[in-house]
Structure 1
Amino acid sequence: MGQTKVSDIIGLMEEWAPKKFAYDWDPVGLQIGRPDAVIDRVLVTLDVTEEVVKEAAESSAGLIIAHHPLIFRPMKSVRTDTPQGRIVEACIRNGISVFAAHTNLDVAPGGVNDMLAERLGLRETAILTETYVEPLYKLAVYTPHDSVDKVREALGKAGAGAIGDYVNCTYEIEGTGRFTPAEGADPYIGKIGKSEAVEETKIEVVLTASIRSKVEQAMIEAHPYEEPAYDFFVLDQRLEEYGIGRIGKLGRPMSLQEFAEHVKERLGVPVLRVVDGGKPEIRTVAVLGGSGGKYTADAANRGADVLVTGDIDFHTAQDTAALGLSIVDPGHHIERIMVGGVAERLGRAAGEKGLACTFIESGIITEPFRFI
């Protein structure tokens, strides 16, 4: 195994929870440090505090992966007599980089909300609220018969033609291509100034927007023509949808009291707040890590009996009860579930790619509330 760099670990996170999933106000990504820094230990935490940075330094971790961004709003100065300034200073002094995966990790399949849904034992889970749809394109490229296999193979290797559980899906139509090479051209077929008619195959293939540039480059490199003829079309169909929160079914119906006790036990919280929406049984559960007050109507409209989320305010609680939706508020800190989940998944992914790196779960509890 060779040396592992910060950029290698960022690459693993981008494969799982790419920045495109994040809300536009969310400052995810590398916040402190440099991508080419060599590391062999990574500390995973919910929040970056002075205690967490000290823990990272004592553990010889060169990178901290946090769910909540350390630098959430633009800093106008880095004063080391302020709490945030001291954290930045301590990271730089100890050579520790800081990377944040926030709403992108909430949205990502297998991310925070899927971890919470799994911990609560929800079945048949689905996205609560759609936030991102991957645009879908069709590429049509005209290719001489003797190059069809080469071009088709290049498109498949670049990721085009993936539909559900099928790969390398193409549609081909034979026809006649006509062109006249102008002065200065270097034609694969034909002569300067002479009209040519060539039997060609039109290859059609679908692809997502995220790989369009990669597919286009692969096609051009594999195509024999100096100037390939091709078109991209935007499609109405959707291959994959991504979103915030999850909604699913309990294995058996519960009373609100029983379900609340279930949440306490499964998420390891000492106390929680409950709003009774009036339904005699809880069967369908929506869950959203962090502050989910804006999504109460979405949960009610999707048929949820209860929403598990944090930071519910007084008036939102009243309005939600009027909708017939119960709330179980175990606090914002339940997102700490990501510490173990991220460490485990990245450790496995790093091993598969031959990256020599150890992932450490932070032992610092950053819950600011104490319950008396």
Structure 2
Amino acid sequence: MIVAVAALTKALTRTSSLANLTAPLIRYPQIASLLLRRLPSKMTMEFEIMKKFCSTDDGREGLPIREVVKKLESWAPLHLAGSWDKVGLQVEPSGDSHIVSRILLTNDLTEAVVGEAVERGPFGMILSYHPPIFRPLKSLTNRTWKERVITTCIENRIAVYSPHTAWDAVAGGVNDWLASAFVTEKVVPLVVSKTWTQPNPEEAKLTHHVDIVVPNTDEQLGSFIELLTECAEEMGTQIHDLRDASDGTKVITFVCDEEHVSRLVKCVNSWPMKPLHLQFRINKLTQIPLPDFGEGRLCTLKEQLTLKEVVDAVKSHLHLHHVRLAVAKNHSLGSLVRSVALCAGSGASVLAGVDADVLLTGEMGHHDILEAVHRGSHVILCDHSNTERGFLHHLVEDKVLDNLFDGLIEVVMSTHDKEPLHVL
């Protein structure tokens, strides 16, 4: 390794080409830091400029980006996220060797935060709770702040990953952290997440399990399988399983949506050779509930508290001096509370119609508040990201992410990420 670095360093000192100089740093980020320490001071490109091409730093070994994504999704699978949400890897540097050894963690990816990433870098990834790309971008220019954020990440080879509502729904996630403001007897999701009975479908559109069973001895079997493979490719899927059964048949399995079931039947019927002695076995997949996973939480307090005590507990947990409070009709700060329904962020739709003494969230519309207080529920609003950001600090301070990455990645909390609203 040292010999290779020395040889490469010697070669680099003979070139003045920017492309020749930076290409090895991009292609082999594992040795970039060693290279930069060995280059002589006479090199025309300054160390800090060169450093941004590296995906690693001196402190940790790092992990390939695909391994980072795999670990994040193993903890909070993306199928837990709302169907409307835009979660997962949103920006990925080119090439197959992007190594992440430092991650900047933020609630919102603003221009201030991406500037911090460049200044304090190198960072191989920004882990942004809220997805910076939510509505489609029509261009990548300097015209809008969101476009500038993405282009800056691309220019500096910074990946961007957003978990958003997957972190809300997962057990031990944002909503469970918010519920930890109270001493509880019981905490359950308001809307329970579900998973498929079959392991293959990772998206809700995969709703059917199709077995096409044909004799193993049929002379046309090979050509028939080729036809099915071509049909699958046209549908944007593939054969999920191909196995020999004990009764002398070949079982060809697909997992697909309802439309693709019809297309598979048409594909089989289009077979021009002699009829195969085949049979279809089609089963509609069902979903089963995942206990402790889901949207929002309904908390039953271990002991009754006054409304004022509940408010104080929220302020203490979120480190806030002020919250907004709507007191239920015919109640007061001294009214007793036994149940709290909560949803981090904007929880009006999740909390609508929930029977609880207190509704706790970041923001809620005026008419939603009026409906709640007339139904007998107090409403506590803390502003959107105030109900979320503390969870990110918990991930860093309690080494949750450090343990997830086996200590190979340094996770740094952004100092420029802040709730935009202030009470004056």
Q: Answer whether TM exceeds 0.5 for this pair.
A: yes
CA distance in 1, matches of 2:282, 2:290: 19
Q: SS at 1:320's partner residue?
A: helix
Q: Tell me if 1:257 matches 2:308.
A: yes
1:218-248 Cα deviation digits (max 9, x unpaired): x948989672599675576835254210111
Higher deviation after alignment, 11-20 or 80-89: 80-89
Match of 1:25 among 78, 84, 97: 84
CA distance in 2, matches of 1:223, 1:7: 38
Q: SS at 1:52's partner residue?
A: helix
The residue type paired with residue 26 of structure 1 is D
1:305-361 Cα deviation digits (max 9, x unpaired): 11110212222111110111111111112210231244432211211xxx7211112
Q: Tell me if 1:77 matches 2:128.
A: no
Segments of 5+ residues of structure 1 without an aligned counterpart are 138-157, 160-178, 187-212
Alpha-carbon shift at residue 267 of structure 1 (Å): 1.2
The residue type paired with residue 310 of structure 1 is G
**Conserved? CA contact 2:105–2:412, under 8 Å:** yes
**Number of residues of Structure 1 aligned to a counterpart in Structure 2:** 298
Q: 1:331 maps to what in 2? A: 383
Q: SS at 2:82's partner residue?
A: coil
**Conserved? CA contact 2:188–2:299, under 8 Å:** yes
Cα RMSD of the aligned pairs, angstroms, is 3.1
**Conserved? CA contact 2:304–2:337, under 8 Å:** yes
**Conserved? CA contact 2:342–2:351, under 8 Å:** no
Alpha-carbon shift at residue 298 of structure 1 (Å): 3.9
Q: SS at 1:89's partner residue?
A: helix
How many percent of aligned residue pairs carry the same amino acid? 29
Q: 1:269 maps to what in 2? A: 320
Q: 1:128 maps to what in 2? A: 190
Q: SS at 1:238's partner residue?
A: strand
Larger % of strand: which? 1
Q: SS at 1:109's partner residue?
A: coil
The residue type paired with residue 167 of structure 2 is L
The residue type paired with residue 92 of structure 2 is G
**Conserved? CA contact 2:68–2:100, under 8 Å:** no
**Conserved? CA contact 2:111–2:148, under 8 Å:** yes
**More RCO (CA 8 Å, sep 6+):** 1
Segments of 5+ residues of structure 2 without an aligned counterpart are 1-59, 201-214, 223-237, 254-280
The residue type paired with residue 118 of structure 1 is S
The residue type paired with residue 365 of structure 2 is D
Q: Tell me if 1:53 matches 2:109.
A: no
Q: 1:81 to 1:107 in 2, by over 3 A?
A: same
The residue type paired with residue 38 of structure 1 is I
The residue type paired with residue 416 of structure 2 is I
Q: 1:350 maps to what in 2? A: 405
Higher deviation after alignment, 319-328 or 226-235: 226-235
Higher deviation after alignment, 235-244 or 101-110: 235-244
Q: 1:224 to 1:126 in 2, by over 3 A?
A: same
**Conserved? CA contact 1:6–1:34, under 8 Å:** no
Q: 1:92 to 1:129 in 2, by over 3 A?
A: same
**Conserved? CA contact 1:255–1:281, under 8 Å:** yes
The residue type paired with residue 251 of structure 1 is K
**Conserved? CA contact 1:350–1:357, under 8 Å:** yes
The residue type paired with residue 317 of structure 1 is I
Q: 2:250 maps to what in 1? A: 227
Q: 2:290 maps to what in 1? A: 240
